[in-house]
Structures are given as structure tokens and as C-alpha cells.
């Protein structure tokens, strides 16, 4: 179980990366959602022991991550955002390097991982010639090579084609059955299909921490569809968060989030995780007031 208590990270500029954040999660896939600068990457770096928090505690099982980072490093897999590679190494050499750093002594583990991310046919090719998706798969392989109990992946599906994304989501879902995965992404659909819990961050603070089903329930009755003349689009954009707008012959078809019918003729519809995200980001969860 991962337990985070009153975690804060204040930078020298005075800004907070993460502010008084607390959550507990037993296992499965924890999806982190939030706009740029919300603190997702800072939180992940702290849990991955790359960055030290200013305040607070993090425990994984009985390991105190802040006090004894080396203890968790044995059981950790981490894929940072926008990670690069050593262009002159082959895929096999790259993985063997990180296997050694993580204390994995089994030579067959490298081949096993290359096969699991479908890079075994290009194992001896230099990484410099790989596509973005291939490099990302290599990154995923290095994160999994020590069979971690805690896997932290920051924007892992960036650069992957649709088929690879589905494959990767399945891999995370399988992994999350027995271990804990922390996944950060901007792509709500990635979270929708994999996360067992969703944490939504805004300006360093946790504004929602629910199961996907609970988030959807919270948004029940808040999502509307309406067709309006295109001249009204700007006015409505200012008033309501719009999750979809589609030009049609009779005007613009909008899907928007609002506590009550935004316009006469607006029809209620079933919320998606994207709608739930907009609800959390734009309305106070307790009072329902626009933030």
C-alpha cells in the first residue's frame, strides 16, 4: 500500500509543486490527471525518489520512502516524461545497463523484456535509429526489468501509435492486478481504460480522488448536449466548459458540463471520464459553484 501524508514540495521561487497532498492506495492503477503545471510530474519524481519533498511522509508498505529511498529503489520501476536514450547503444545493451544498475543478474531477463515489448527482432540495432514509439517501448522495458512492486510511468503513451497504446494499456492493467502502478497522462481515455483510482490535481493540490465509477456518478446529470448557431459559440465557451464541439449543417453541436440545463432544448446525456474531469476542474465538488 502507498500512503502519502501532507506532502508538499515548495520550490525556492516560493511556488508549490505539490501542496499538502494526502492519499492512500492499496494496489491497481492510480491515474493522475491534471493540466500542465498541476504537480503530476513533481509528485511522481518525489515518489520515484528523484526529488525530495519539503514536507510530508510517503510510505510504501513499511518502507519510509523519504527517509530510506534506497529501500524502495530495489522495488521501483520508473519511466520519466520525455525520456531519451543513449543513441550509440543497442537496445540489448541499453537494457543490460539498466538491469545491472537495478541489480538484476539474470541475463535472460533482458531478452525476455525485449520480447515482451516486441523489440526482440531489433535487439542489436543502435537505439539512435529507433522511432519514437520504439524508444518509448524500450523505456517501458527498462522500467519493468526488475519486476517492480511499484511502477511509476509519466506520460507513457506519448509517441505511441494507437495499436501500441492499446497494447501498453493492457500491459499496465495486467501489471496493476498484482502490483501498484502510478500513471500520469493528459489523455483521459488512457486513464479511463486502465485506472482503478483517479487522482485529479490542480495547482499542486488534490481536488478529487475517486474510482472512475464514482467520478462518473459525481458527474451524473451535469452533461448536456445542445445545438446552437455558431455565432453563440464564443459566449457559451466563456460560460461553460465544453467537452466537444462539432460543426453541423444546422449549427454547432455542443457537449458541455453545467449544473443545470444551459439552454432551452439542451438534453442530458451520459457522462464520460472527460466530462468528469471537466466537472472537477471547473466546479467545486461540494458546492457545485463554478471555480
Partner 1 sequence: MQSLRRIWAVLWTDCVLRFRKTSTLVTFLLLCFFAYIWVPDPSGGTALLVVGGQRALYNSEAVAFATALLCSMFTGLFGFYLVSQSIELDIRTRCGAIIASTPTPTRQYLLGKCLGNMVFLGTLALGFLLSCMAMQLVRGEASLEPGTFLRQYFIFLPPAISFVSVVAILFESIPRLAGKLGDVCYFFLWMLVLTAGVAAHESGAVTASSYLDFTGVTLIADTLGPLEADKGSVSIGAAPFDQLRPPFVFEGIEFGPKWLAPRLGSFLAPFPLLLLAIAFFHRFDPTRSRIAARRHRVGITRRLNSLLKPLFALGLPRLLTGANQRATLFGAMRADASLTLLNNPMGGLAMALAIPASLLVPTRVLLGGVLPLVFAALAMLLAGVSSREHRNGTQTLISSAPGLREHFVWWKLGSAVLVGLGFTMMAIGRLGLTSPGEGLSVLVGMLFTATSATALGILTNTPKAFLVLFLVFWYAVLNSGGQIPWLSFGGLYGPMAGWVQALYLGLGATLLLLAFLVHRRRLL
Binding site for partner 1 (CB under 8 A): 9, 11-12, 45, 48-52, 70, 73-74, 76, 78-86, 88-89, 93, 96-98, 100-103, 105, 126, 142-143, 152
Residue closer to partner 1 by CB (options 172, 208) is 172
Q: How far apart are CB 27 and partner 1 at their closest, in Å?
A: 20
Residue closer to partner 1 by CB (options 9, 255) is 9
Q: How far apart are CB 193 and partner 1 at their closest, in Å?
A: 26
Q: How far apart are CB 36 and partner 1 at their closest, in Å?
A: 16
Enter the C-alpha cell of residue 145: 526489468
Q: How far apart are CB 81 and partner 1 at their closest, in Å?
A: 8
Please give the biggest Cα pair distance in the chain: 67
Q: How far apart are CB 205 and partner 1 at their closest, in Å?
A: 19
Q: Residue 146: name the closest of 98, 92, 81 by CA.
A: 98
Torsion sign over Cα 187, 189, 193, 198? positive
Q: How far apart are CB 14 and partner 1 at their closest, in Å?
A: 13
The CA-atom distances, in angstroms, between 246 and each of 61, 231, 233 are 48, 14, 11
Give the span between the Cα atoms of 199 and 213, in whole angstroms.
13
- Cα 203 vs. chain centroid, distance in angstroms? 16
The CA-atom distances, in angstroms, between 244 and each of 43, 140, 192, 224 are 30, 32, 17, 11
Give the span between the Cα atoms of 290 and 284, in whole angstroms.
6
Q: How far apart are CB 6 and partner 1 at their closest, in Å?
A: 19
Residue that has been written with the C-alpha cell 517501458 in this structure: 140
Residue closer to partner 1 by CB (options 94, 283) is 94
Give the span between the Cα atoms of 186 and 110, in whole angstroms.
30
Residue closer to partner 1 by CB (options 155, 192) is 155
Residue closer to partner 1 by CB (options 48, 134) is 48
CB 33, CB 201: distance < 8 Å? yes
Residue closer to partner 1 by CB (options 97, 202) is 97
CB 37, CB 83: distance < 8 Å? no
Give the span between the Cα atoms of 227 and 255, in whole angstroms.
9
Residue closer to partner 1 by CB (options 78, 168) is 78
Residue closer to partner 1 by CB (options 78, 283) is 78
Q: How far apart are CB 73 and partner 1 at their closest, in Å?
A: 4
- 3-state SS, 192-232, equals HHHCCEEEEEECCEEEEEECHHHHHHHHCCCEEEEEECHHH
Amino acid at each position: 500500500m502507498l500512503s502519502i501524508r501532507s506532502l508538499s514540495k515548495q520550490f525556492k521561487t516560493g511556488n508549490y509543486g505539490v501542496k499538502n497532498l494526502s492519499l492512500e492506495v492499496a494496489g491497481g492503477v492510480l491515474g493522475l490527471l491534471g493540466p500542465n503545471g498541476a504537480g503530476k510530474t513533481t509528485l511522481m519524481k518525489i515518489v520515484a525518489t528523484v526529488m525530495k519533498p519539503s514536507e510530508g511522509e510517503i510510505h510504501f508498505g513499511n518502507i519510509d520512502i523519504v527517509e530510506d529511498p534506497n529501500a524502495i529503489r530495489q522495488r521501483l520501476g520508473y519511466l520519466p516524461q520525455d525520456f531519451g536514450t543513449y543513441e550509440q547503444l543497442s537496445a540489448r545493451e541499453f537494457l543490460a545497463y539498466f538491469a545491472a544498475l537495478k541489480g538484476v543478474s539474470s541475463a535472460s531477463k533482458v531478452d525476455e523484456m525485449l520480447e515482451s515489448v516486441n523489440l526482440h527482432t531489433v535487439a542489436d540495432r543502435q537505439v539512435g535509429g529507433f522511432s519514437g514509439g520504439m524508444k518509448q517501448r524500450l523505456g517501458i522495458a527498462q522500467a519493468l526489468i526488475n519486476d517492480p512492486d511499484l511502477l511509476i510511468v509519466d506520460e507513457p503513451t506519448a509517441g505511441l501509435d494507437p495499436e501500441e497504446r492499446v497494447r501498453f494499456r493492457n500491459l499496465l492493467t495486467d501489471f496493476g492486478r498484482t502490483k501498484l502502478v502510478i500513471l500520469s497522462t493528459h489523455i483521459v481515455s488512457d486513464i479511463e481504460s486502465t485506472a482503478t483510482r483517479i487522482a485529479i490535481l490542480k495547482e499542486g493540490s488534490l481536488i478529487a480522488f475517486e474510482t472512475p465509477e464514482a467520478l462518473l456518478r459525481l458527474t451524473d446529470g451535469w452533461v448536456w448536449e445542445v445545438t446552437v448557431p455558431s455565432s453563440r459559440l464564443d459566449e457559451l465557451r466563456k460560460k461553460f466548459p465544453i467537452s466537444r464541439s462539432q460543426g453541423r449543417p444546422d449549427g454547432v453541436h455542443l457537449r458541455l458540463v453545467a449544473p443545470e440545463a444551459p439552454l432551452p432544448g439542451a438534453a442530458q446525456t451520459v457522462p464520460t471520464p472527460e466530462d468528469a474531469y471537466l466537472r472537477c476542474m471547473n466546479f467545486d465538488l461540494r458546492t457545485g459553484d463554478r471555480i
